[in-house]
Structure 1
Amino acid sequence: MKKVIFLFFLVSSIHLSANIDWSHNTTCPSPDMERVESILSKMTLREKVGQVIMPDIDAVTPELAKKFKLGSILNGGGRYPNKNKFSSIEDWKNLSKAYYDASPIINGSIVPILWGTDAVHGHNNVIGATIFPHNIGLGATRNPDLIKEIGQAVAKEVLSTGIPWTFAPTITVPQNDTWGRTYEGYSEDPELVASLGQAMILGIQGEGDNFLGLNHMLSTAKHFIADGGTSDGVDQGDALISELGLKNLHGEPYFKALDACVQTIMASFNSWNGDKLHGNKYLLTEVLKNQMNFEGFVVGDWNGHGQVRGCSNTSCPQSFNAGVDIFMVPDEWQELYKTTLKQVKNGSIPLERLDDAVRRILRVKMQIGLLDGKKPHEFKSNYIGDKNHFAIARRAVRESLVLLKNNNNVLPLNPSKHYLVVGDAALSINSQMGGWTITWQARDNKNSDYKNVQNIYSALAGYINNQGGSIEFSKDGSYKKKPDSVIFIFGEEPYAEGDGDRKDLEFISKDANYIRLMQQFNAANFPIISIFLSGRPMEINRELNLSDSFIAAWLPGSAVEGISDVIFTNNGSIDYDFTGKLPYSWPKTAVQNVNFKDARYDPLFPYGYGLNYSSTKELVDVEEIKIEKELNEIILFVGSAYPPGFEFVQEGSSVEQVQSDIFTSKSQNISMFKFDYKKQDDAKNLKFFKSNDYNAWGILADSFLDIQDMKAPSYEIELKINRIGSSPIYFGATCAGNGYEICRGMIDVTEVFKNKKLAQWASVKIPVSCLQSAGLDSSNMDIRAILLSNDNWDIDLHSIKILATNSNNLPNCSNLSSGISQ
């Protein structure tokens, strides 16, 4: 009994709060609160509720915004005017004007709709905007003055499209690099995060006489709090930490954000010791608003209120009463508006709480000048892709590069010599950009979508050619002229939240050739320079040992010319040395979770490490530890293909890669679009139309998948059947060798799909053994999943996974008819 009492006390003590002092005072400009109170006193209940509802532009027209007297809107990642990612600057400004004109009129005065956007490393939803290094790279610069300049540049570019509010910066303190949002954090060090986060806010919002002035806009500190401290690095998971630890580790950046007079703070998806932050009144109201004296408003994250216990996306008084002032409710906003209005009327939401939220919103709108006639769509200048901003981005790239190894002083390189470049990432602009670029996950963009941006190979070639040297790219290691050195460029595929979570930190490339070629050139004694593109430190010991020089280049963005500035001499002299330092500790193994404040700190490279051209350190080969992993789950698709896979469609002999959220095949036999199911963009509607030939949608990868050692592998597909065709639909996979298909396993799943209730989500299990019986070799799969039909099928897909299972729980293959011969 004593043990039980002790354990209860231990768990409960985590939540004790009385002895933790969060008090904080700042001196920030204050608007005319008498005027705010005057406006508030004249608002109807419907007008007040409209102020706390924020839908996505895809789900609300200006006409609807006017009808419901809405107070704010957003465009989420990959959302654009008219659902067109190629929208012009005028398209953005015209939509801004339309929403402004639809704003509610309160007692004869307009209270403008406030538009927010995710400009997290530049105005990244807009084609042609300057894309800066992601925050992990900016953390490597350790340069607050540079970050402030970037903030100023971002503000000007966002304002150029008629938008006065960005959901940035992210001031998370990531503690587990398997988290898919690690690159959004400046560092594992709260002091560095606090310094750079404060600088970014000052750049975006301005300070002193320029606070929220002509070329400045609203900033958002996010995500409050401990989004980077969840157990095992799980996105939207649970931060198991004492309140003192919460304050000291994750709170420090918010104190500095308040010192910078940040006006909006976004609540986090994660929980703290089991309680969702969107419903945590103690942290949102008692700590943030009362003790820390935050006078702006708290905005929720994408349907974050719906994750609170007892809530849904369309009803959550708990979240509002806890302190969320604006519901971010992208799609189901009309129902949430109605239920919130009803809850105020019946007392579930006190009127005083609603007034507090609206007062805070009006206060911020007055701070930014919206209540004094400022019209965001009338911003006169166009700074999108400004050449001065590009110069700042190029400087940021230079300062972000971290030199991990430089044996035999291989760097700097003489640009007058001949170089061979290997690695698909050298040609892929997506690889240098990372997630949150044009689209949310950023894997479906083409190089041609990036205006006035070079891939890394082109940038290197431009520099070398100007210095009298030569360069060539090789896919297979062949070359026309023997190179003096070989430059390998490789790294992670783009990802954003959710999709980027990993079980461990082992680097596995989509490019199947690069490691074999690296071994080949190493054996032949060619100097090897490796440029690694990633959103986090990873286990790259094998690549490190094969390289003479190794550079962590993070996710550099638009201005990759900055790489050439540093790694080459200019007419024999060094223009720029390496100055970047690791903002995160670098692990020794794929399963090591290491942070510099650990009691037993044993990284491969410590926090703050970084060589320069004066360094004499010669790195000896590091231990290559192969982690034996039991293969239990392979995620192929959640709303879109998981790396290294990509989606394609085939009509007859014509094959297209799917590279947009809304897609129709050339012959219009297949169409698809993304939508929200459990979270943003995590589902896809797939339609097959009647045709003479079979048409296919599938997931393909350049590297082969081997699941022959997986225990009783089975496909698990979460889907919803909306329309059943009159002809069969097939599911399967293929295997390849020497660059062409050598086997396939296709089975008729028509009856399995027909047995699911129409328009209801369901799970379908298909044993891999059924595909093997139909001809699949599961040791070298290239097309990992494929659906095939020539009739009218309408299917919503959430996820496709391959799971190790108990064979006793699987359907019998005899219930599935096999075979389609082609």
Structure 2
Amino acid sequence: MPTKVIQITALAFMWLLLLATASHCVANDDLFTKHTAAAIQLVDRMTLAEKIGQMTQAELTSLGDLSDIRRLALGSVLSGGGADPDDGNSLAAWTAAYEACQQQAVGSRLGVPILYGVDAVHGHGNVLGAVVFPHNIGLGCTRNAELVEEVNRITAREVRASGMNFNFAPCVAVPRDDRWGRTYEGFSEHPGVVAELGAAAVRGLQGFDLRDPARVLGCAKHFVGDGATAAEVRLPDWEGFGAEKRLRLDQGDARIDEPTLRHLHVRPYVDAINEGVGAVMPSYSTWNGVRCSASHQLLAELLKGELGFTGIVISDYNAIDQISDDYKLAIKTSVNAGMDMFMVPQKYERFINLLTELVNQGQVPVERINDAVTRIVRVKIAMGLLDQGFSVEADPQLAREFGSDAHRAVAREAVRQSLVLLRNQDGALPLNRQQQRIHVAGRAADDIGVQCGGWTIEWQGAEGEVTPGGTTILAALRKAVGDRVTYNPAGHVPDDAEVAVVVVGESPYAEGAGDDADLALSKGDRQLVQRVAESGVPTVLVLLSGRPLILDGLEEHCEAVVAAWLPGTEGAGVADVLLGDYQPSGQLSFTWPRNASQHPINVGDADADPLYPFGHGLSY
């Protein structure tokens, strides 16, 4: 049979499987629909103002004295990346902010509690002292759904320790171009891996009963095709991030046909819906020129109709602004397309006024408003927010677990399993802790911020001691080996060193600021590695990055190369593998290219010739 026929047949088979799974979702999804009658009863008691209030999500930092939550009957509040409470960044401050917001909500006429949303995408990373887990790209290399579920179960507990009950995670994007600044938020370039691990993340966050006070509402994002946007070379509109970043993929256009969209990018949502995910967030990006947040085809017909999603469709941060310069038209377009809740951080009152006008003018049907609010309310009912005896206070027992050794032990295990041993010549690894004198080089070896990457305390992340409680790779090696470990960030190797560990990689970034045409190590990092390798001692290269980096032959100068991704706060997991206390088991969840001209490169590409193929991973 000709190759083209085989490919078409395989694609058709995959889509039939997807449809069968979607049918299963509709048949078994009663997590929210069983509460429809009760939700309708409450919605019938609401005024139009209260209904539109429920559709509105404002940001904590824009709410002032918080009284607008009660006055406008807001349905949700969020804290975006880096948006700390006025009282500072501590667990106590976050908890107090949540409780104050919830107190305002229950004081409204109908007393409907809020959903409080945060981006806890690799642990409760907004809060100082939280356990920060590896980003999804590392978890994808574990191929361990049970571990991913446990990581997200602990994330849910740390989020609920601060009271918050809504997590904008998991990201189930299928990144197909590593130059995209959100690549590390995806588990893999392969939809099957993303589907399995995304579903596991939903189970971990939500559990099997959303009334469980240690669980949170999950949100699969970003629907759909955000990992397929085409690269454009133009000046960035990310103010302050430098004109040199001319490549743009983030929030771009996915120029692919419908079968490809379904085969590669819809599949993970089917699995997430099947696990009962309570919310889906449409992408900033467009599909063949149409904004996802404005697409009736994607939101109403595909997501809600064909896939049978019964939860809340919530917009991304100010996403509807990109639909039209006419804000009223943007609101009308998005709500009629199927958006239920609107993340309008600063313009929440303007949004409410304009949507009210649209309904009164007949441009948005009341039935569409009622459908949106019914979806929101029945999710809240499923979460127990409308149960008698609901408390606005966070659970103090969960606060005692926050940042605990037990939680850090799971993160350390996640780090161990996420590492991929790319190269190991002449048995350079594992290191011999009893005999070798180990020299560590590279500023990144002693930098928690670089280990954690973006979405850590600040939206873009930051270098340095961004959060307490973690362990750097250098500190972990010193604790395990003692005074036989020396360190020089500039790479000057002492005469008595017997092996060198060089830690280099990307500085923290998030989203569009991370779009990068070259994905090359910096000039300084390259010189550092070469300087150490030229000293003559066996050299182990440890890469901290959010995607495969172009090594351009540098690996040939190193006896061993380890992809450690963005491991989070528990650098001890990296040391465990380097020292042989844990056998490396990670497998690449992304294809590793030889040079920048190969981008985009993915498993299954004809004549791909990668440096390291998808699934590659050595052990000892």
- TM-score, normalisation: structure 1: 0.68
Query: Distance in 1 between the 2:396 and 2:48 partners?
Result: 36
| Structure 2 equivalent of residue 202 of structure 1 | 203
Query: Distance in 1 between the 2:91 and 2:106 partners?
Result: 25
- Which structure shows the bigger proportion of residues in strand conformation? 1
Query: Distance in 2 between the 1:244 and 1:517 partners?
Result: 46
Deviation per residue, 1:581-636 (Å, 9 max, x gap): 000000010221210021332211100001111xxxxxxxxxxxxxxxxxxxxxxx
| Structure 2 equivalent of residue 147 of structure 1 | 148
Query: Distance in 2 between the 1:333 and 1:517 partners?
Result: 50
| Structure 1 equivalent of residue 589 of structure 2 | 583
Q: Which runs of 5 or more structure 2 residues have no equivalent in the other structure?
A: 1-14, 232-247
Where in structure 2 are the equivalents of 1:291-302 lying within 5 Å? 291-302=306-317
Q: Which runs of 5 or more structure 1 residues have no equivalent in the other structure?
A: 1-16, 570-574, 614-822
2:448 is equivalent to residue 437 of structure 1: no
2:460 is equivalent to residue 456 of structure 1: no
Q: Which amino acid aligns with 2:169?
A: A
Where in structure 2 are the equivalents of 1:575-654 lying within 5 Å? 575-593=581-599, 594-613=601-620
Query: Distance in 2 between the 1:428 and 1:378 partners?
Result: 32
Query: Distance in 2 between the 1:318 and 1:419 partners?
Result: 61
Alpha-carbon distance change, 477 to 184 in structure 1, aligned in 2, over 3 angstroms: closer
Deviation per residue, 1:466-505 (Å, 9 max, x gap): xxx5111113444555201111000000000110001232
Query: Helix, strand or coil: the match of 1:405?
Result: strand
* Aligned-residue offset at 1:32: 3.0
Contact 2:314 2:341 in 1 (8 A): yes
Q: Which amino acid aligns with 1:195?
A: E
Alpha-carbon distance change, 386 to 406 in structure 1, aligned in 2, over 3 angstroms: same
Deviation per residue, 1:173-203 (Å, 9 max, x gap): 0000000000000000000000000001001
Query: Helix, strand or coil: the match of 2:438?
Result: strand
| Structure 1 equivalent of residue 67 of structure 2 | 63
Contact 1:205 1:216 in 2 (8 A): yes
Query: Distance in 2 between the 1:522 and 1:599 partners?
Result: 35
- Greater displacement, 474-483 / 164-173: 474-483
- Greater displacement, 59-68 / 395-404: 59-68
| Structure 2 equivalent of residue 82 of structure 1 | 86
Query: Helix, strand or coil: the match of 1:252?
Result: helix
Pick the aligned partner of 2:417 from 399, 419, 423. Answer: 399
Query: Distance in 2 between the 1:450 and 1:105 partners?
Result: 35
Query: Distance in 2 between the 1:517 and 1:152 partners?
Result: 40
Query: Distance in 1 between the 2:438 and 2:355 partners?
Result: 64
Deviation per residue, 1:318-343 (Å, 9 max, x gap): 01110111111111221111111111
* Aligned-residue offset at 1:298: 0.2
Q: Which amino acid aligns with 2:345?
A: P
* Aligned-residue offset at 1:310: 5.3
Contact 1:263 1:297 in 2 (8 A): yes
Alpha-carbon distance change, 610 to 348 in structure 1, aligned in 2, over 3 angstroms: same
2:296 is equivalent to residue 281 of structure 1: yes
| Structure 2 equivalent of residue 379 of structure 1 | 395
Name the Cα RMSD after superposition: 1.9
| Structure 1 equivalent of residue 114 of structure 2 | 113
Where in structure 2 are the equivalents of 1:340-419 lying within 5 Å? 340-372=355-387, 373-375=389-391, 377-381=393-397, 382=399, 383-416=401-434, 417-419=436-438
Alpha-carbon distance change, 314 to 88 in structure 1, aligned in 2, over 3 angstroms: farther
2:41 is equivalent to residue 42 of structure 1: no
Alpha-carbon distance change, 101 to 522 in structure 1, aligned in 2, over 3 angstroms: closer
* Aligned-residue offset at 1:54: 0.7
Pick the aligned partner of 1:485 from 486, 499, 520. Answer: 499
Deviation per residue, 1:282-304 (Å, 9 max, x gap): 11001110111101010000111
Contact 2:419 2:562 in 1 (8 A): yes
Q: Across the two proteins, how many residue pairs are aligned to each other?
A: 577
2:200 is equivalent to residue 181 of structure 1: no
* Aligned-residue offset at 1:81: 1.0
Query: Helix, strand or coil: the match of 1:115?
Result: strand
| Structure 1 equivalent of residue 8 of structure 2 | none
* Aligned-residue offset at 1:211: 4.5
Contact 1:315 1:336 in 2 (8 A): no
Q: Which amino acid aligns with 1:217?
A: V
Contact 1:306 1:314 in 2 (8 A): no
Contact 2:179 2:519 in 1 (8 A): yes
Contact 2:442 2:491 in 1 (8 A): no
| Structure 1 equivalent of residue 235 of structure 2 | none
Pick the aligned partner of 1:257 from 272, 279, 298. Answer: 272
Contact 2:126 2:457 in 1 (8 A): yes
Contact 1:100 1:375 in 2 (8 A): no
Pick the aligned partner of 1:544 from 525, 535, 555. Answer: 555
Q: Which amino acid aligns with 1:399?
A: Q
- TM-score, normalisation: structure 2: 0.90
Larger radius of gyration: 1
Query: Distance in 1 between the 2:392 and 2:431 partners?
Result: 48
Deviation per residue, 1:488-538 (Å, 9 max, x gap): 0000000001100012322225xx2x4334333433421000100000001
Deviation per residue, 1:30-64 (Å, 9 max, x gap): 44322211111010011011011111111113212
Contact 1:73 1:113 in 2 (8 A): yes
Query: Distance in 2 between the 1:121 and 1:228 partners?
Result: 19
Q: Which amino acid aligns with 1:568?
A: L
| Structure 1 equivalent of residue 327 of structure 2 | 312
Contact 2:591 2:614 in 1 (8 A): yes
| Structure 2 equivalent of residue 473 of structure 1 | 487
* Aligned-residue offset at 1:305: 0.8
| Structure 2 equivalent of residue 101 of structure 1 | 103
* Aligned-residue offset at 1:312: 3.0
Contact 1:436 1:496 in 2 (8 A): yes
Alpha-carbon distance change, 174 to 132 in structure 1, aligned in 2, over 3 angstroms: same
Contact 1:56 1:76 in 2 (8 A): yes
2:534 is equivalent to residue 519 of structure 1: no
